Structure 1
Amino acid sequence: MGARKLLHILKLSAKQQREFVNSFDVVLCDCDGVMWLISAPLPRTGEAVNALKADGKQVLFVSNNSVRSDEDYRKKFVGIGVKNFRINDIMHPVKAMLYYLKKHNIKQPVFSLCSSFGNDKLRNAGIDVRTLVANEAVTPATLERITKPEQKMGAVLYDINLELTYAQLVAATRYLADKDCQFIAGGLDRTLPMTREIMMPGFCDFLDTISSFTRREPTIVSKPALLLGEILKDVYRLTEPSRCLFIGDSLKNDVGFGRDCGFQTLLVLSGTTCIEEMWQASAKERPHYYADRIADFIELYANINKKC
């Protein structure tokens, strides 16, 4: 798509606005940077989701953040006013890992570097999850003993974990020395949008360290990996990708992912990507449409209803 054809959804003509909303049946929406910032709200996002639902759209959520529990996510969506939210409406890396482990009958136990919420989710689904909690000071003299593999593992799981330790990273590398142990990874975001003013580093560098040291490439089950696209299509029975609209705030993790999956794409400028970065991107890296925020759908539907 050329630069001239990249339009803000509120700058489309009345006819184009109607054609746009009629061109998709399913909305797949990122969370952090779109529905909210990690530590701050974004206005009227729940109202926008409800407007899409009122138009008959199926609205699903695809996040690279597994740090929240199911109950935390439910509270977040209910808190912003999303109607009829179900926990099955959201896909995040730990859920994708669970799907992959079961579909491919991965041997257990597995060694996890996931968050405590992620580990609880896996255990509740019947996965034998092992972790490392050091019961003594980690020193050069104790590190080898503390990180010594207990037994063979079917896989090492990696995801965002705010309590990740060096000893856990070392233990993961030692389990991965066994070539039969699979390496499965989630959250790859390079930045975490805490507020409009504060960005924090993501966890991709720790994953790169493990991969480089072990010379093992992980199986990625988070955006922008195509494997996640196949999981989404299977779990939600998305048989017509071109009738799906992917909304996100990242050119790579959302727009690039959506395009590769065959979805239409909409970039919102409420998170990690600024408008200058969008215009500087190559034509194939740009979204099909853009908006300032997902709340622009409220005005879009008001325009359509007024002009009908």
Structure 2
Amino acid sequence: MFKSAVFNLKDATKEEIQTFLNSFDTVLTDCDGVLWIDNNAIPGSPETMNQFRKLGKKIFYVTNNSTKIRSDFAIKAQELGFIASADEILSTAYLVAHYLKGIGFTKKVYMIGSNGIGEELKAVGIRYIGVGPDHVCSDFKSMKPSELDSEVGAVVVGFDEHVSYPKFMKAASYLDSEDCLFIATNTDERFPKGGSIVVPGTGTLVKAVETCSQRKALVLGKPHAYVRKFLESCGLDPARTLMIGDRCNTDIELGVRCGFQTLLVLSGVTSERDLEKIRTEKKPPLPDVVLPKLGDLMALFPS
């Protein structure tokens, strides 16, 4: 309806809003920066998502966050006021397990990551090592081949607050074998965060491992091919699907690649200044519509 128009929905007429709401049956939404930041719901987001559901829309929560299992995401969403079930959560931790199970992987995974990925792997019977701190020795360069696990057949990189030099050494050493798979959950540069503190995202760790291993990772999360194939397997009608996000290079890019309608909100990574640059440069991917925050839709819903 507003194809790549970067149109502020607040400027739409009642008729345009109604036509917009009638134009999709499925809502896909990012979580961090759209629905909540840390453990706080962004005002109006729960009410808006729940209103979509009342209007008969199918809901999927699509997140690049790999730190939790799907049931934990559902519990968090429920505690913040969203109606949600584990079956509606599509996280990168789940995608990793789904992908490896799908290719018949039977070896062990070395992870730079968290328990979220580990628990999803365990649920499908895949063994893993690497979660938690890896002590940095004073003579860290003296690592021996005997310290590596010969059963490892894949390196998975997600968000890891315990990332360290020994972890990079082990990941690169495993990946020195061409037979070892290299998988990344996502390449997000930073986390949505209020204030002036920048929190580096998983993409920082992926780049580091790609550099020292001299390999390129297969990235499963938004906006890459695997998550697109997974969503397509859910039977979505692209022309009647809305993707909501706070990043152009992941959420909106995914929507554009899949042929979805797109809504960009400015409550997370993308700022007002970024939006002006997007409008001026007109560099794809361009969102169809824009709102300061998702909750602003509540005032636009027909009464």
What are the equivalent positions in structure 2 for 1:37-76 lying under 5 Å apart? 37-76=37-76
State the distance in 2 between where 1:74 and 1:299 align: 26
Whether the aligned pair in 2 keeps the contact of 1:74 and 1:87 (CA below 8 Å) is yes
Amino acid at match of 2:272: I
In the other structure, the counterpart of 2:189 is 190
Distance 1:226 1:278, change over 3 A: farther
Distance 1:177 1:11, change over 3 A: same
Whether the aligned pair in 2 keeps the contact of 1:38 and 1:195 (CA below 8 Å) is no
User: What's the secondary structure of 1:184's corresponding residue?
Assistant: strand
What are the equivalent positions in structure 2 for 1:125-144 lying under 5 Å apart? 125-131=124-130, 138-140=137-139, 143-144=142-143
Q: 1:279 pairs with 276, 281, 291, which one? A: 276
State the distance in 2 between where 1:299 and 1:215 align: 51
Whether the aligned pair in 1 keeps the contact of 2:45 and 2:294 (CA below 8 Å) is yes
Deviation string, structure 1 residues 40-83 (Cα, Å, up to 9, x no partner): 43112111111000010011111111113445323321122112
State the distance in 2 between where 1:141 and 1:14 align: 64
Distance 1:132 1:248, change over 3 A: closer
State the distance in 2 between where 1:256 and 1:147 align: 43
Deviation string, structure 1 residues 240-266 (Cα, Å, up to 9, x no partner): 212110000011111112111211110
- Further displaced range: 141-150 or 206-215: 141-150
In the other structure, the counterpart of 1:241 is 238
Deviation string, structure 1 residues 182-229 (Cα, Å, up to 9, x no partner): 101013211112335543121312211211222211110011212211
User: What's the secondary structure of 1:112's corresponding residue?
Assistant: strand
State the distance in 2 between where 1:16 and 1:125 align: 46
2:43 corresponds to 1:25: no
User: What's the secondary structure of 1:252's corresponding residue?
Assistant: helix
What are the equivalent positions in structure 2 for 1:118-267 lying under 5 Å apart? 118-131=117-130, 138-140=137-139, 143-145=142-144, 148-234=147-233, 236-238=234-236, 240-267=237-264
Unmatched runs of 5 consecutive residues or more in structure 1: none
Distance 1:126 1:268, change over 3 A: same
Amino acid at match of 2:170: A
2:292 corresponds to 1:292: yes
Deviation string, structure 1 residues 116-169 (Cα, Å, up to 9, x no partner): 232122112211112276786523267413883220422111101112222112
State the distance in 1 between where 2:45 and 2:110 align: 37
Distance 1:137 1:248, change over 3 A: closer
Unmatched runs of 5 consecutive residues or more in structure 2: none
Give the TM-score normalised by the residue count of structure 2: 0.91
Whether the aligned pair in 2 keeps the contact of 1:147 and 1:171 (CA below 8 Å) is no
CA root-mean-square deviation = 2.4
Amino acid at match of 1:257: L
State the distance in 1 between where 2:171 and 2:146 align: 8
Distance 1:134 1:91, change over 3 A: closer
**Fraction of identical pairs, as percent:** 27
Whether the aligned pair in 1 keeps the contact of 2:111 and 2:157 (CA below 8 Å) is yes
State the distance in 2 between where 1:18 and 1:132 align: 48
Give the TM-score normalised by the residue count of structure 1: 0.89
Whether the aligned pair in 2 keeps the contact of 1:152 and 1:175 (CA below 8 Å) is no
2:266 corresponds to 1:269: yes
Amino acid at match of 1:59: I
State the distance in 1 between where 2:189 and 2:97 align: 23
Distance 1:147 1:173, change over 3 A: farther
